[in-house]
Amino acid sequence: LEYEEIKNKVEALTNERLELIASKLGAGKEQIAVVNTLSFMRSDKILLEDFNKNATELISEAGDVFPVQKTQDGKLVAWVKDIPAKGLKLLKFNEGTNHESPFNITDGGIETPYYKVAIDSTGFFTSLLDKTSNREVLKAGEKGNVFRVYEDKPREFDNWNIDIYYNRKSWIADEVTRLEWIENGPVQAVLLTERNYCNSLIRQKVYFYANSNRIDFETYVDWKEHQQLMKVEFPIDVNANEATYDIQFGNLTRPTHGNTSWDKAKFEVCAHKWADISDGGYGVSLLNDCKYGYGIKNQLMTLSLIKSGIEPNLTTDQEEHCFTYSILPHKGNWKKGSTVKEAYMLNLPLLTSYPESSNEVENESTSLIELDAENIVLETIKKA
């Protein structure tokens, strides 16, 4: 089966089961079930497509109010709190108060509850001040969220290898054709940029949140190049001898220097959902939902986005790409920064369902299982 066909089948099966669960709990057109598939309680955003268009907030049975915002493409987004582990919570639509935006947008950037961000005319970050720590995240005089494209012509295995000399020739994708704030509401502010690189298009939405210090970069690329490797770069003002990388069911550390030949050869390494550099008191995590080539050397964090080799397939990666990466500045190390949980939340969003139902609601929320240890993540529940 093709990937899209598999995706459609899985989504249909998931929605079918969500509707069954929600209907038994009494969810309906004025009430939704928010489902958390992860093994820890979470607060996160939900995106609603079939909704009460006049709703300005969601309300829980306990009286908690969650503002609702209309998105640029006509949907609704809300930030909901305390959704039970491996469980769900019922919320009601309400046409109540119009909630104000906490964001201050200017020609040169944005101030959020968490950050003061300076953004130049190319859409790159020139400053990222963490207000909670009063600390600049980026190295002085350098820019973050930079798309850099390298000439990529390895000696052999063109679609697999990246040779150590790849960085001798590179270009920055800074030809911006559109830079516009398309959303500014009580839940999120969104910056849209469109840029051309040679024959390719890069379109990106940058999400700043009212209730989260994570910054998401939702990216679409229509790629037409060959033998060129595109990375995103964040020069981080954190000094550390080691960086931490996520792997299946754990993580490992690797040096951030190239003092030995074997360390020098690790200019790019593999990781799953995140990588982190921390100095003990402060750090930054770089998360992703489908990209696995990381580099952290000399305070520069990079993530490989597209590699377009020509052997054995002449047109590898010359197609449309959709992916999201995120940065998560934090106090302490990756453990204190909730990096593991944030990476899971990025990869497994909250689900929603609201079928017609006339059932009485017995419980506003329910949970299949709860864990009493922060260092445990329940990956899978399998029928015996």
Q: Render pLDDT for 282-322 as a digit per residue (tens, 0 to 9).
A: 999 999 999 999 999 999 999 999 999 999 999 999 999 99
**Tell me, what's the pLDDT at 384?**
80
Supply the Cα-derived Rg of the chain in whole angstroms. 22
Q: Is 188 in contact with 77 (CB distance < 8 Å)?
A: yes
Homologous superfamily (CATH) of 144-344 is Golgi alpha-mannosidase II; domain 4 (2.70.98.30)
Region 337-353 average pLDDT: 96
**Tell me, what's the pLDDT at 333?**
96
Region 204-213 average pLDDT: 99
Q: Is the pLDDT of residue 375 over 80?
A: yes
* Angle value at C-alpha 71, between 65 and 77, nearest 5 degrees: 30
Q: What is the pTM of this model?
A: 0.94
Is 262 strand, coil or helix?
helix
- The token duo for 224 is 């037409």
Among 205, 210, 148, smallest CA distance to 180 is for: 205
- The token duo for 209 is 């949140």
Q: Is 159 in contact with 265 (CB distance < 8 Å)?
A: no
Give the separation between CA 167 and CA 297, rounded to whole angstroms: 13
Least confident of 32-36, 212-216, 352-356: 352-356
Same fold, 3-98+355-367 and 144-344: no
Q: Render pLDDT for 63-75 as a digit per residue (tens, 0 to 9).
A: 999 999 999 998 9
Q: Is 316 in contact with 310 (CB distance < 8 Å)?
A: yes
Domain topology for 3-98+355-367: Immunoglobulin-like (2.60.40)
pLDDT bucket at 356, cuts 50 / 70 / 90: low
**Residue 264 DSSP label:** H
Q: Is the pLDDT of residue 24 over 80?
A: no
Q: Is the pLDDT of residue 15 over 80?
A: yes
Which string of DSSP letters, residue by residue, matches 6-54? HHHHHHHHHHHHHHHHHHHHT-BTTEEEEEE-SSS-EEEEEEESSS-TT
Q: Render pLDDT for 102-150 as a digit per residue (tens, 0 to 9).
A: 999 999 999 999 999 999 999 999 999 999 999 999 999 999 999 999 9
Give the separation between CA 276 and CA 253, rounded to whole angstroms: 9
Give the separation between CA 144 and CA 146, rounded to whole angstroms: 5
pLDDT bucket at 353, cuts 50 / 70 / 90: confident
- What are the sequence ranges of the domains in the chain? 3-98+355-367, 144-344
